[in-house]
Amino acid sequence: MKMLHNFDLNLLVVLHTLLEERSVTRTGQRLGRTQSAISNSLRRLRDSLGDPLLVRTPDGLSPTPRAAELAPLLAKIVQDADACIARPDAFDPTTAEAQFSIGAPDRFSLPVLLPLLEHLGRVAPGIVVNLRTTDRDYAIRLIEAEEIDLAIGWFDATPPHLRRMFAYEDRFVCLCRRDHPLLESGRDLDLGDLLAYSHLVVSSTSDRRAAFDAVLDRHGASRTIAATLMSFTIVPELLLTSDLVGVFTHRTSDYFVRRYGLVAVPVPLAMAPIANHLIWHRRFEGNQAHAWLRDQIKQVCAREN
């Protein structure tokens, strides 16, 4: 590495071109330099490398064994240098082949990630998406460790080196079976009604407390939690066959209402909507493929289920 400090790398381009053209004149024309400038560069190359490199013959310049040995190395160096400074081609999702890892709580699987994967399968068949189940803190750690490319979720705050983009707002609803005793009175629920039944909780970390419990804390209330799951896979079956209730986000609950005939009713508490964001490391700011994927997620989030 120390030798490079005192060596003009532009000389390698001159030598590569000389070896291809076998002429000082043609090399100068190709590089847009005078014949004397090319001759001076060749002289400097000979001094630096300790070899004549090219000798004059009736057929033009002929490489020495040392120059012939260097020829393929120089061609590779010039090719790699061109690749380093060339602007990337415009991203074309229809032909691109790439992999992305996305972190998200399981509540995004049905309303966001399922339609996203279906959409990508149609418009970008070469794009592979790997999903990681994450909560807020875990998602940030994985992005910083370069284990995922972006995450979606509810983030109170993010470090300054992470970028964020609003995705959509959601709200809590209570999910239960159609003939649940909670609904028998036909009147609007109050908090006491909701807390009279045992609850089903879904948490990415198997924590027995979820975001709704923090809301209850602020109102001086708590709930009885009968079971905690890490995914929504068996939530419909459990709710359809018991008096359990679940307080989940509206978009996830709406999927179960449509598919399983469950009922979603408003939660009887005043609370701000849940603001969901996309987050990613700022190193991806100029990456066309990454920006395109973020836009696709944003478009999916903008759709009402």
33-68 pLDDT tens trace: 999 998 999 999 899 899 999 998 887 889 999 999
Q: How confident is the model at residue 257 (pLDDT cuts 50, 70, 90)?
A: very high
Of the chain, the percentage scoring pLDDT greater than 90 comes to: 66
What pLDDT score does 85 carry? 79
Structure tokens at 259: 């598919």
CA distance 179 to 177: 6
- Burial of 192-214, coded b for 16+ CB within 10 Å and e otherwise, reads ebbbebebbbbbbbeeebbbbbe
Topology of domain 98-170+274-302, CATH = D-Maltodextrin-Binding Protein; domain 2 (3.40.190)
Average pLDDT over residues 69-93: 84
* Mean pLDDT, the chain, whole residue set: 90
Q: Which two tokens stand for residue 190?
A: 């109050």
**In which band, very low, low, confident or very high, does the pLDDT at 208 lie, cut at 50, 70 and 90?**
confident
Alpha helices by DSSP H, listed for the chain, are 2-5, 10-21, 24-31, 35-49, 65-85, 114-123, 136-144, 191-195, 211-218, 235-240, 250-260, 288-302
Domain ranges, ordered by start, for the chain = 2-85, 98-170+274-302, 172-266
pLDDT of residue 110: 92
Please return the burial class of 118, using the count of CB atoms within 10 Å of its CB with bins 0-12, 13-18 and 19+.
exposed
CATH number of 172-266: 3.40.190.10
User: What are the CA-CA distances from residue 86 to residues 55, 82, 151, 175, 195 (Å)?
Assistant: 34, 6, 30, 55, 62
The 10s digit of each residue's pLDDT in 110-155 is: 999 999 999 999 999 999 999 999 988 899 999 999 999 999 999 9
Q: How far apart are CA 81 and CA 298, in angstroms?
A: 36
* Nearest to 175, CA basis, from 243, 270, 253, 271: 253
Q: What is the mean pLDDT of residues 8-36?
A: 89
- Given a contact cutoff of 8 angstroms between Cβ atoms, the answer to whether 102 and 147 are in contact is no
CATH architecture of the domain with residue range 2-85: Orthogonal Bundle (1.10)
Q: Assign 83 a pLDDT band (cuts: 50, 70, 90).
A: confident
Q: Do domains 98-170+274-302 and 172-266 have the same CATH topology?
A: yes
* Structure confidence at residue 303 (pLDDT): 81
pLDDT band at 108 (very low <50, low <70, confident <90, very high): very high
pLDDT confidence of residue 285: 87
Is the pLDDT reported for residue 191 higher than 60? yes
Q: According to the model, what pLDDT value does residue 193 have?
A: 93
Phi, psi of 26 (to 5 degrees): -65, -35
Residues 67-96, mean pLDDT to the nearest whole number = 85
- What integer pLDDT is reported at residue 136 of this predicted model? 86
How does residue 87 score in pLDDT terms, banded at 50, 70 and 90?
Answer: low
Mean pLDDT of 152-169: 92
- Indicate if the pLDDT at residue 156 is higher than 60: yes
pTM to 2 decimal places: 0.72
Q: What are the φ/ψ torsions at residue 3 (nearest 5 degrees)?
A: -65, -30
Which residues lie across from 108 on neighbouring strands? none
